[in-house]
Amino acid sequence: MGITLKTPEDIEKMRVAGRLAAEQLKFIAPYVKPGVTTDELNQILHDYTVNEQQAIPAPLNYHGFPKSICTSVNNQVCHGIPGPKKLKNGDIINIDVTIIKDGYHGDTSKMFCVGKPSILAERLCRVSHECLKIGIELVKPGIHLGDIGHAIQQHAEANHFSVVREYCGHGIGKVFHEEPQVLHYGQAGTGIMLEPGMTFTIEPMINAGKRHVKLLPDQWTVVTKDRSLSAQYEHTILVTDTGHEVLTLLPGDEI
């Protein structure tokens, strides 16, 4: 399929999908409290997507994924499956939502702190968010994808954290995961050159310990091998003629 350049009509629909995904993260925030289960968060967002947004939760049945959102707690890196375990004070959780509206995808995630986080957890979340922001700010026609990965890796490692290598950002549009792969590490000046009309996610996974990960027997949940904390933030980005537009932001919000 290769990299699809989006038309103005595509882009308008991507804006709608992106905004709906952003609305989900805003909607769920007050529910992320000690005692709630990730299954309950999944059910709340499933119902909101289907009934209020008239949209489709993209993760549900995607390659067999059993739920409508991904919830990754503490040492879970990504693709955590919502379940019956209750969140407790001090947990950090990534909620990753992807919706399909009018045939187009919007994909975004962020960290939530449950009650009071440790100083390390707070710092990890802050640096992970900075990594995403640094990557997004570089996006404009003519830069190379490797410039983004390089900048993210530099910032994570300067803070003595590590970047997960096995999972990456991705092109997105009518297809959930399409080309290009957006690595969160690497060399400046390498990889494809960005062009207006490309849409892709940036979604760095940053570990407090070593970068290595393993897959749990459920075949979805990715955890850090050394059991250290992991954090991730994600936005869907459009390359414009002069720079970029973050599609998964609410009007008036900043990254």
Between residues 6 and 235, which has the closer beta carbon with respect to ligand MF3?
A: 235
Residues in the chain: 255
Our finding on whether 216 is near ligand MF3 (CB under 6 A) is no
Our finding on whether 183 is near ligand MF3 (CB under 6 A) is no
DSSP string, 127-185: HHHHHHHHHHHH-STT-BHHHHHHHHHHHHHHTT-EE--S--EEE-SSSSSEEEEE-SS
User: Segment near ligand MF3 (CB under 6 A), from 17-25, 41-49, 59-67, 222-230?
Assistant: 59-67
Q: Is the dihedral of CA 126, 81, 100, 238 positive or negative?
A: positive
Our finding on whether 82 is near ligand MF3 (CB under 6 A) is no
Our finding on whether 178 is near ligand MF3 (CB under 6 A) is no
Our finding on whether 76 is near Co ion (CB under 5 A) is no
What CA–CA distance (Å, rounded) separates 171 from 179?
5
Our finding on whether 96 is near Co ion (CB under 5 A) is yes
Are 234 and 107 a contacting pair, CB within 8 Å?
yes
Our finding on whether 96 is near ligand MF3 (CB under 6 A) is yes
Between residues 96 and 130, which has the closer beta carbon with respect to ligand MF3?
A: 96
Query: Which residues bind to ligand MF3, rule: CB under 6 A?
Result: 59, 62-63, 65, 70, 79, 96, 98, 107, 201, 203, 234
